[in-house]
Amino acid sequence: MIIKQTRRHFAVKVFVQVFLIIFIFSAPLVSYAAVFRDSLGRNVAIPFVPKRIISLAPNITEMIFFLGLGERLVGVTRFSYFPKEAQEKPKVGVYTDVNIEKIVTLSPDLVIATADGNKKEDVEMLKEAGIPVYVVNPRKVHQVLDTIERLGTICGVPDRAKHLVNCLRERVTKVMKAVRHRERPLILLVINVKPLISVNKSTIHHDIIQFAGGRNMTGDQPITYPTINMEEVIKKGPDAIIISSMERKGEFEKARKEWFLWPTLPAVQKGRVYLIDSDLIDRPAPRIITGLEEMAKLIHPEIEWGSICGPPSIPLYRD
């Protein structure tokens, strides 16, 4: 197995080197290169406004489409299914195992990677091929918004990005103002049913719960995604239980109903066991703001949300 992996790595490296030689002799001369500092602290030189972009993670794909630049995407990873137009783009593997040869042959002038999943050696290999690779790493709500704005600047649409991000920031502010003086219920967020897994304070989920006016029951756990038992749940007594659902075939509805077998829990006594679409809270992408609004509605159903959280705006920009 090691020998096969070594041979594959060598073959990819040779392929990249050959392509680089062709690229150097065929690429147009440029007189200016903007330099951007990425999330790894690397200075990334981007010689011109990128027109052929490859996204190495689904949340990055969503950001590029949100900026109205979907037509510039020439490659995405396999689970980039939102918006639906992303499904039509060429696939370059999954974000944890990208296809270097495919990426190189698509001739991108910018690859956008994520520190949370993409392999460092893949980033280095693309860099060796002369392809600028900008790495992002949004882990909090404000970091998602900052990343969108930064990508807008890199892609030559800073005003557009600022306008769109300001709209998202206004929605966050509206939610936070609405819950500011409310009692903060204790929330158990379930991201996996069997075993029972939740999140600690280092996650974007924790951020969402806090902004939505709740308290994360497992926020102080030392492990990012802690496995918890029913004894702990009973002891802490969450006021609401929210299950992050990735399925649409009734399995999570069944899991929701199973909580009612524990009638001593405050959340069960109040009938406050809910499902939430995992796509809205798991991916650090623009839809995270919709996830925040949905979380706030579940945590504080007593608030009249109709006038506070209207339908999210859809960018109409096109290149």
Give the per-residue pLDDT at 200: 97
What 3-state DSSP class applies to 276?
Answer: strand
pLDDT of 18: 45
Architecture field, domain 183-299:
3-Layer(aba) Sandwich (3.40)
pLDDT (0 to 100) of residue 56: 97
Residue-wise pLDDT tens digits, 109-151: 999 999 988 999 999 999 999 999 999 999 999 999 999 999 9
Confidence (pLDDT) at 86: 96
Residues of the chain with pLDDT under 50: 2-7, 10-12, 14-16, 18-32, 316
Per-residue pLDDT, 10: 47
Instruction: Judge whether 294 and 277 are in contact, CB under 8 Å.
Output: yes
Alpha carbon distance 174, 293 (integer Å): 9
Domain ranges within the chain, ordered by starting residue: 2-137, 183-299
**Helix, strand, coil share (%) of the chain residues, nearest 5:** 45, 15, 40
pLDDT, position 308: 73
pLDDT at 26: 43
Res 268: pLDDT: 97
Architecture label for domain 2-137: 3-Layer(aba) Sandwich (3.40)
Q: 2-137 with 183-299: one CATH topology? A: yes
Q: So what's the pLDDT on residue 234?
A: 97
Q: What is the pLDDT of residue 312?
A: 58
Pairing of strands 93-94, 97-98: antiparallel
